[in-house]
Amino acid sequence: MQKKQVYYILLFLIIFLSVFLRFHKITYRDFWYDEAFTGVIIKWDWHTMMNGLIRDVHPPLYYLLLKPWASIFNYSVWGLRGFSAVFGIATVILAFLLVKRIFKSWPLALITGFVVAIAPFNIQYSQEARMYSLFGFLMLCAIYFFYSSFSTHKWRNSILWALFFGLAINTHYLSFFMAPLFYLAFIFLRNAPQILDNNWKTKLRRITLRFLPDKYFFVSIGIIILTLLPWLKVLIKHLTKHSLGWIPPAHFSDLPRTIQIFFFGSPPGMSGVPEPSAFKYLFFPDSLGLLIYSLILVLIFIFWLRNKTRIDNSKKSILFLSIFSFGLPVVLIIASHFKIYLYVSRYFAPSAIVMQILLVALLWKVLNRKVVLAFVGIYVLLIFNLNIPPVNHNFQLLPKFLKEKNLENAKIYALDPGEFTILRYYLDPEQVYLFNKNNPNEDFSGWVSVGNEKRITKVEDLLQDKTGVIVGKIEVLEKETERVGQVGSLEVYQIKR
């Protein structure tokens, strides 16, 4: 069997593995609030859905693509999450193609594809009904064609990188913070010989860095603007919000923790700013991100020393990948000092993938192949050592429970806005009401998936509904309610008749 045939077989196995890992138990876990938000608004008619997106802070492309797909599967959990899984699989293939184009190496591309396929971070967001998998794929496409535009100087590649970058902006607004990285990469690739020249005296005399965009870059900017025009008015309104109220300020000390999440993920369904996944048996799990961070920097330093007298493609490619690995987190840490708080690890899906590529490429270039395979083996063992938290599937079992109790037509009362949104996805949204027990009079008019239309603010109104079902326990009404049963960790109550 020829070597190339073996490579194709290995590539097929990697793709098969990525398909298995992304669809395995894809429906087992309950939706959390963000996914339920997707599930609720995607069921609305087109006009209502678009109005909801305008009122919220999300660009439209993910929802425009998801709605027709999800309708084929009756808006089921499998349909909603399967959309992300498809783009997660496509990202694995694209990562392989990117490495193969940059480094011209089948073995390196295959190992990289394997790492991207098994990385828990990538699997996690390929199994979420959110835009992060699509965002990562589109931005990686933009990076692929951006690099290709410099290696081939073809109009097609310049047009495609601009098109995919524009589509990425229409998927996640954090793409705007990638713009300076593309410009930095443009300056670097355009002037690589002068920048990488180690003769500083010669460099100071000869350097003629060209900072102004060339004709390809200007046309690309025009295409990006064209992709934004249909949504431009809403986009400007959304961008004036600057930051989200629940995101804390970011510091450079957050970077190792973020890198750890890039390689080992975080507990799924965690709202707010996620923490890294825990390990079963590891003495210093919180230092693993710092170890990976240090390893990357040391490998870059060794690689640079070994190649300091050469100006070759590998040197240029490593620095190119470094820009897109560390650039976005660093830009948002700097933005945080200007009170723009957007630093959340799941927003960095493209950076995570490129950093995984960068680490494998550095190991390949600095160490021998056996050591690289050993590192990959250690990575696999660490993944198996992750402490996977118990999966909740309470809400998806609730409809069956209510039917068994002959309560499928009763009014359902949720006790917080998050559970209200989740219940609206799993049940008929018309039968779900909100009694926010911590603050019944809280205004939810700014919450697109909640609103005030189904809100109950008085305990007296709740007590009058003798057939209604309360999901959760209200301590102050313990004497007036009786327990109907329990679905997983969800307690179900009714008002005593």
The per-residue pLDDT for range 346-385, each reduced to its tens digit, is 999 999 999 999 999 999 999 888 889 999 999 999 999 9
Residue pair 416/436 in contact (Cβ under 8 Å)? The answer is: yes
Structure tokens at 459: 């305990």
Binning the chain into helix, strand and coil, the percentages to the nearest 5 are 65, 5, 30
Structure tokens at 476: 């102050």
DSSP state of 274: P
Examine the pLDDT at 38 and tell me if it is beyond 70: yes
The 10s digit of each residue's pLDDT in 91-144 is 999 999 999 999 999 999 999 999 999 999 999 999 999 999 999 999 999 999
How many Å is the Cα radius of gyration of the chain? 25
The type of residue at 328 is L
HEC string for 342-388: CCCHHHHHHHHHHHHHHHHHHHHHHCCHHHHHHHHHHHHHHHHCECC
The three-point CA angle 396-278-33 to 5° equals 30
Question: Cα–Cα distance between 215 and 234 in angstroms, integer?
Answer: 30
pLDDT, position 424: 96
The 10s digit of each residue's pLDDT in 401-410 is 999 999 989 9
Question: Cα–Cα distance between 79 and 32 in angstroms, integer?
Answer: 16
pLDDT category, 4, cuts 50, 70, 90? Answer: confident
CA distances from 340 to 138, 249, 256, 343, 373 (A): 24, 8, 21, 9, 41
pLDDT, position 477: 81
pLDDT, position 242: 57
481 - beta bridge partners? 495
Task: Look at 44-53, 70-79, 236-245, 367-376 and tell me which has the smallest mean pLDDT.
Answer: 236-245
3-state class of 488 per DSSP?
Answer: coil
pLDDT category, 412, cuts 50, 70, 90? Answer: very high
pLDDT category, 392, cuts 50, 70, 90? Answer: confident
Examine the pLDDT at 77 and tell me if it is beyond 60: yes
Q: Which helix (H) or strand (E) holds 142?
A: helix 132-152
pLDDT, position 8: 94
Examine the pLDDT at 202 and tell me if it is beyond 80: no
Residues in the chain: 497
pLDDT category, 306, cuts 50, 70, 90? Answer: confident
